[in-house]
Amino acid sequence: MALPNEPSIKQSPDLAKLVREVVTQAEGARTMAKGMTGIDFTTDISSATVFVQYVAGAREPQFVASGPRQVVRIVARLDSRR
């Protein structure tokens, strides 16, 4: 990732350390999400649209999503497991 290598960030050791920690945490979350879903949200999705409909009295909202077919199938499979 290029952010930790930015000259303006490198000038401050404290800021550089903080940015490295944030990048490490973000990469960890990305890896965990990919392991759980099979989707790498930073490379597998180039476009996605999600609509949420709240229905009075319903326990959960309804979601309508569009995007790459593989991602929509994986999300649908995950939703059916609930």
Name the more confident of 78 and 55. Answer: 55
pTM of the predicted structure, to 2 decimals: 0.53
Q: Residue ranges per domain, the chain?
A: 1-39, 45-82
Nearest Cα residue to 65 out of 78, 51, 77, 54 = 51
Name the more confident of 72 and 2. Answer: 2
Nearest Cα residue to 24 out of 1, 5, 44 = 1
The pLDDT tens digits for 17-76 are 999 999 999 899 989 988 888 888 788 777 777 788 888 888 888 877 666 777 677 767
Give Cβ neighbours of residue 61 (< 8 Å, ≥ 6 apart). Answer: 52, 53, 54, 55
